[in-house]
Structure 1
Amino acid sequence: MVRPLPGEEDARGQVPGGTVTFLFTDIEGSTKLLERLRAKYAELLAEHSEILRSAFVQWNGHEVDTQGDAFFVSFSRASDAIACAMATQRALASHDWPDGVAVRVRMALHTGEPMISDAKYVGMDVHVAARIASAGHGGQVLLSQSTQSLVRDDLPPGATLRDLGPHELKDIRLPQQIFQLDMAGLPTDFPALRTLASAPHIPPHNLPARATALVGREQELETIRELMLEPETRLVTLTGTGGAGKTRLALEAAAALLAGFRDGVFVVDLSSVADPGLIASAIAQVLGLRETGADPALESVKRFLKSRQVLLVLDNFEHVLPGAAHVVDLIASCPRLKVLATSREPLHLQPERDVPVHPLAVPDLRRPQAAAALGEWPSLALFVQRARIAQPDFMLNEQNARSVAEICVRLDGLPLAIELVAARMKVLTPAAILARLDPQLTFVRSGENDFPRRHRTLEATIDWSYKLLSSDEQTLFRGLAAFAGGWTLEAAEAVSDVNELNVLDGIDALLDKSLLWRDTQPEAEPRFGMLETVRAFARHQLEAEGELETTCRRHAAHFLTVAERLDSELLGPRQTASLDVLERELDNVRAALEWSEDADRVTGLRLASALWLFWFLRGRLSEGRGRLEGFLATAEASRNARAKALFAAGFLAQSQGDYDAALAMHQESAAIYRELGDRAGIGLALFGLGRVAYEQGKPGAARELLDESLTIAREIKDETAIGLRVTSLANAALDASDLARARALFDEGLSRWRRLGGRQGVAYALSGLGDVLRAEGDVAAARPLYEEALAIQRGLGDRANIPITLRRLGFVTLEQGDIPAASAYLEEALILSEGLASRSGLATSLEAVAALAAKTRPSEAIRLAGAAAALRDARGAAAPASWRTEIAQRLAPALRAVSRGARLAGWAEGRSMTTENAVACATTTARAIASEAASRTDVTPLTPREREIVALVAQGLTSRQIAEELVVTERTVDTHLEHVRGKLGVRSRAQITAWAAASGILAQR
């Protein structure tokens, strides 16, 4: 159980990530203490825990777990951990314990970069720390080498370190160098450590000292370890593009495997070897073997290694690929030899096991994350680590985290690129670095003299790989730079212009050379791509060859074809699959649109128009509208194309609550369609106009426009259009309180959408039927319909409609008395509405939270209602009549609870709030209400709503009066009373009143 210290809990409930130092503690001889002290042991344990926890708080520790007398704590800084250990040992030694006993606590410190899963640390670092702790004695503080290396130069006063040598620990493969912290005034002589054995023998090696911890490679290290432990594995090759971190990973893996190779681990750098025939000479040099003319180097190496258990690390093997046969010869001749190679492509040898080395993971910038969460991404953790070398006091915070994240994304998580850029932190801020990163990343230059020449820029490494390609492979490689975010084989074949080369074969060759990546999902078509840095180089080559314009034109034409084909499928049975295709290709769509802005605006207009439902359903309202309006202002398109684009832009504007703009665009669209005599187009434009009228609170005009639009759809037998317009007309009927017609239309819509396979339409109709049931007072029946609709919408990623359904569920659960659930639904709706940049949706969510707060927090309710009104006034976004009526009823208790002066002041304060402040206020209010409701203890078998109704019955109110007080229907009140009678076993109102008095409900009320 991960449990933070009081007042220190992370908002996400998460443990600190990145590089952390673990402290493990437990009491030596606790069983004997228990036998001696008996009942007093609990007192001792409490005092012990108080001492430790006080120190944890003082030194910024995060209590991860505690069991009995043992603690597991993590620290973001090793210096804090060692200071905490010293302070704790001194406090324990000076404390006056019961019956004069001595309490001796053993402690261990270990620093690593553990993985985090379900708010818990996992991985080898946890086990190492625990094993070191179990090796110690009471009063002793032990450190691993990783912790020692961080604190040795800056120990607290009175502290020194003693090297206890390497030790073998249970279940830990590598010997661990262990150190003891000697503290002035405290015992320093302890028995030998409780380890399996000392490990005086460390195999010979030429591994470099580790200057920094390896970041984000736990899974790859484990894969390499497992492969190397398999007896049949003789050759493992780490493959990946230049700068992916293959060398660093190989060195880390070799160090971890050191104890398993008694005769040594040796690294051979082949980067400077130009002749494949010199591989053996390079190996011999590392092994210290002398070459003679009579004894070729290869034979000397084979003879030396024949009976030895050795791991050879052959780094940068891509330089000498034609000499790969030498490796086979060595492996065949030396039965105890294993080879770990790094290369940009596999060696293609029979015994080879390939381990791809991908860039470090980067965050999705479309999803807002706090600095602490961003810091857990491996790419950002590496940036921070390297930045601190240049600027030791650098910290990731809310001001710079976004810039660092964008840098890492721009660099595609490539470790080499990140390290080179982070080195500039000595003179530049993250924001300044980001501003200087141009599309070709020409800013990335190494100032370090310890990098080989070819690594001084990423461009040099990619250029080197590019020059090894055949002419046709180079042509294909350049052409693929037109894609953004990856591509399918079909897309590559449509866009590429290669003569003699089969595109599939060419992609296979580029994959082999680590210039592309491949992503295969189960049951999905493989997807290929380039790292962004590689793509920038390829695009530069494409431009230099004069091929950029024609390639981008083919690219845009292909994705226009895809979008127009899928446009007709976005409301049918293939809706989910079609949306997913467009989501996967969104980067390509954007690239095509951006190219079209300068080169072919008609294509851009058609492409943006074909995506109108995608923009809406996936909540990309601002992006879609901005693209459309930009092309509408400049493209000289056909009248039909312009009319469709106007409808699409108007539809998105209306969804954002910009009704004036939406009205103008739909009117122009309708005029063009009438001029063309396009009946389907006229119906489409009228549908848009009807939706605007409905949202503006003009039910009569909305019904008239939607009726005419539906008539046209039935006339031309467009089943999809009929489904859309039937459900929209049903909403207009509901707004006019014509429940019978609303039910009939929603039923028709549901039947049609189920028949058409349109899941979004099914969800819309289900929600509408839920509204009808709620209006009739049957909230219990409405709730499952809303829940089914929400499940469909979440599955579709329907960001536009999810907040609407969440608000409906919020009110249903509020009426059922489930305040925590209502708060959660309404808070989520609020957050999603803000992300959609929809003023009307956000205003509606603010009003919903105001309604939630009306009875318990009237001042906040009035302020939130004022903020919502200001949002609506800014865009002329009047709410539908039914919503205005409901909100007025729900806010009535708040208005009655405060004076007229307070109401006016609160309303004015709300209207003056910024949008950000209003959202923050609403979020805080919803959470507070949920917390208060959850903390109340139920004193009856009744729900909160049922207790509320019982209290009102006891006060003598009729069902109608209770309905007015609680803003529900009379039928809802009677349904609750039926449940109350059943639960309490009573029949009359008099019995309910007597029960209320006896149970104390009246006093609570």
Structure 2
Amino acid sequence: MRYGVLGPLAVWDAEGRPVRVPEAKVRALLANLLVHGGGPVPADRLIEDLWADNPPGGSANTLQTKVSQLRRVLGRDQVVREPAGYRLLLADDVLDALTFQELADRARAHREPAVKADLFADALALWRGPAYADVAEALFARGEITRLEELRLDVVEDHAEVRLTLGEHTALAAELGTLVARHPLRERLRMAHMRALYRAGRQGDALQSFQELRRELAEELGVSPGPEVSALHEAILRQEPRLATPAVGSLSCRTNLPAPLTPLIGRREAAEQVLARLDPGANTRLVTLTGLGGVGKTRLAIAAARDVAGQFTDGVWLVELAGLGAASAPDDIAERVITTLGLCDTAATEPDLDDLVGWLCRAVADKQLLILLDNCEHLIEPVAVLANAVLSAVPAAHLLLTSQEALDIPGEVVHPVPPLALPKDTDPQTVARSSAVELFVERAAAAAPGFVLDAENAAAVSAVCRRLDGIPLALELVASRLRTLSPHELAARLDDRFARPDARVRGLPDRQRTLRGMLDWSWQLLSEDERTVLRRLVVHADGWVMPSAQAVCADDGLPAGRVPDLLSRLVDRSLVVREGNRFRLLESVAAHGAERLAEAGEESAVRERFVRHCTELAEREDELLRGPDQRRSLERLNAETVNLRRALDLAVTHGAAEYAVRLVNALAWYWFLRGRLTEARRSLRAALAAGEGAAPDARLTARTWLAGIELRTSQTGAVPGPADKDLGAGVGDPVLRARLRWFVGTGLTGSGRHREGRRLVEASLTGARAAGDRWGEAAALVELASHTPARDGSAELGAALFREVGDRWGLLRATRALALAAEGEGDRVRTERLHREGLLMAEELGLWTEAVETLTRLGETALADGRTERATELYERALSVSAERAYTRGEIRAEIGLGHAARLRGDRDAATHHLNRALAKSHASGHGAHADAASAELNLVPRP
């Protein structure tokens, strides 16, 4: 069960369906238990809270009755009786108030303003109304309500300040006005509003806001405004430059580089060399860091990339390739880059997108960016093809690679990454200056608090580092042993270990033999169950969360309940890395574990559990994508994307056609929402080609999804089978059948086949209503409304249904239809309001092409009202987002809008500049209609 208290009390089951809690006292009982956060509440306290001064006769029995009623709703094991009282069992992620606080903490810890803003927005989106609205008058809830409301306002203020750094002052000036009126004494909120007003050109309103604050404080508290808000008032009076909107160049670089978990040790000189080669002014544009596994190539690359991030205006991006199979093509790597850069939504607007390498090169042709391709050794040929294409077509692009071998292509600079420097003798001062010793001591102190290098242990530490050849991974693995061994004991055991003949593997270079020997020794020190978990975890391509580890590792001999403790021990031994709630294996450990998995003869069983788990995960998330958990479900699927691809590859390669088809059917809607239509098309085709093992109904479902995808990715609007064939008619599930008809119908309509498309959408509406599918009914109504000139209430009803089921994407589509209808009726106020609502939803879901289209429509509305300055600001935002996301059509429309606004302002030069840019981009990209529009607008610009 999941619980919602940020609004009226709500309960949802594991599938996201609302669960009704009958009777006010039972709801109050649940609220009371939730207020205590899973802690025990004495029975007499519950009786007093529920019935105040008027408890019923036999109150203990009455309370027990209410508890029994609650257990019937939630499950008997969810409400437990302990000596200290009744307690509600709560996991970490089942209460929206805790999720809210977690998102806020994550936002505050993040460095990137855009990410901080998204996380704060996610946190605030959880609020459905006043906290604990059902029991707002109850004494037991008041303290928690006050606490949560204070936390919410703190987040609102944090969010506002981040959005100010992102230049969203105009929107904030309007949005914060209502909040300031509701909380007139909050100085921090008032300051954010004053800054927003000032940057929006409303200096008078900003000064008036300060005077209102001064009056409120004097009347309510008898005090004056604080020093910070007073200083802001003075700065506004002086119009100080620091109050201006931050320039784009002053914002943090767009990047997905992870924050370092530990400092980079012993690589200062190497980092400086890499930095010099990565400088945009240098002639080098391709740097490959080479070295054996475990030597620290990735850590060095990330550190160097982070240090030069400010020099690349279009971002620094880490693209992890370890999860791609060795048979991957250049287009597969390009697709990974497109997704990482956030261009998949844009790419989905392009028909016949079969050459992904070419499209990527065109999309970033004028960008200055650094792409870090990590773990390329198993993909040398396709990475070389991609690198050649990017470097040839994108003059300001730089590539940084990590690999165990070089690409060996023109222009590549190879930078070998050696092990860390070893101590030259046993003198403590000399030993301490060795980078290998520095790393070992730092990791040892983390594993065994209090450990320090001194005269007594310097010789032993030196011996350990020399024995391990200064290989960082080997040093980190062995450092954890100091919890139970002294440095002298550790050195002796390593000497004994590496003196044995079986410690060396013939045919390997010395340092690779050292690392292999260290991994073998670490393996032998594990218990049998720890070995079992470690080798089974290697099936994951891109890390995992705890439920996945349990699903993959547990079997008849190893209960799932033991996996968390065993995994924790592996983390303690540095064999597993923990990052937040996810875990991962270093490449060398994973490679070693894969060998052990094969030796144990478990590859097939573990593979089958992994594929089954990924399939069931995707199926659970699929329906959540159409409800209030939509955003979080998208995030969970984003995090598991590489694992899901691995699962599909395994299912296809090993003949598990049933799981392959189930998996692609479950992921089809996710791919659509994320704009990954090329991946969807390729994956659906692969699953259907895997064999006949899947059920006929599932195969028919996959073929229908594929038809809808191909309609959206083909200029000809081609669809398998006869053009008028209803592909989804044979699907057994009536809800799914109606949804598939809608999906294919909207694809037909989008490709210009309106009659066929409308027929399928109408059939979808009939089927959805018959099946009681509110989501399907809403989708069909909104689609029909968007193609019907007359208002018949379909869009309003569709919006209400989408709001009822909590689908933000659907509400965005409905809002767009309502805005277009309002625009047709000449209601500009309602049109603008609806478009603004749609813009917020598009940005929340990361649907950037939708955001751009909405911004340009808002610009058109502003121009129609004669507000050229407001229109200019909107078109500039549209141009910025379009350029960032390589959305050429959006750039052209924004340039035309800016030219139109400049012409109306009488700025002939600016108008000519923007319209000529629009013409050039239109001709270069083949958008003839936009070229005509730009030419027509240019003809209206007065000649000098």
For Structure 1 versus Structure 2, the TM-score category normalised by the shorter chain is 0.3 to 0.5
Of the two, which has the highest radius of gyration?
1
Between Structure 1 and Structure 2, the one with more helix by share is 2
| TM-score, normalised by the number of residues in structure 1 | 0.43
Q: TM-score, normalised by structure 2?
A: 0.45
Tell me: higher relative CO, structure 1 or 2? Use CA pairs within 8 A at least 6 residues apart: 2
